[in-house]
Chain A
Amino acid sequence: MKAPRQAVFVGRGTYRRRRLIDFAKLLPFLGVALIAMPVVWGPEPLATVAPDLPAAPTSDSPPQSGGEVVRDSVFLFAVWFGLVAAAFLVALNLRDAPEGEAGAPSPQEDEAP
């Protein structure tokens, strides 16, 4: 038994919902790429100069990699928050969109080909 054929053209609502799901599917890959950015940037050139420091460094011997840590952490938290916001938008719109696996095609509002 073959499954019933899927409609080639679907209603506007269903179309938007499917693209939203596509976005939801792409989101983790975008996240991976962004999270990998600090690795790609690598350490700042001067960081290698730092000698082995004592367990608790004193404030008068500032380490070289400090700016990099701040830069990376601010960037990562921003990305993180962006991912949360994107997922929130997806969830918000999915809740409003009609239910169903990929959205049942509604014949009366077929898109013009």
Chain B
Amino acid sequence: MEFIWRVNYFSALRVESLEGEFIVFQREAGKTHFLNEIGLKILSILDQSPATLDSLCRELSEYFTLPPDTHFSAQINRTLQRYEALGLVSRVKENA
């Protein structure tokens, strides 16, 4: 089944840039996360509008001018699942 991913309370995230890397404070959880540029871009894309894995990957590869391939998509999928366990994103069923 395809899921649509959305970000939880992006406005409650504190994002600071330190020389090109990003530290993110998740207020609700009280946790600090260390993200690279792609990691943060995933969150900001999903904040603009919830997306499926495929459309998220398309947008990312356009932005970073990376060739879209299955390896990249698997990596993004793993990142999303990790974000989900951390409570940064959640999934909704496509037709919901």
- A and B associate: no
By a beta-carbon cutoff of 8 Å, the part of chain B in contact with chain A is: none
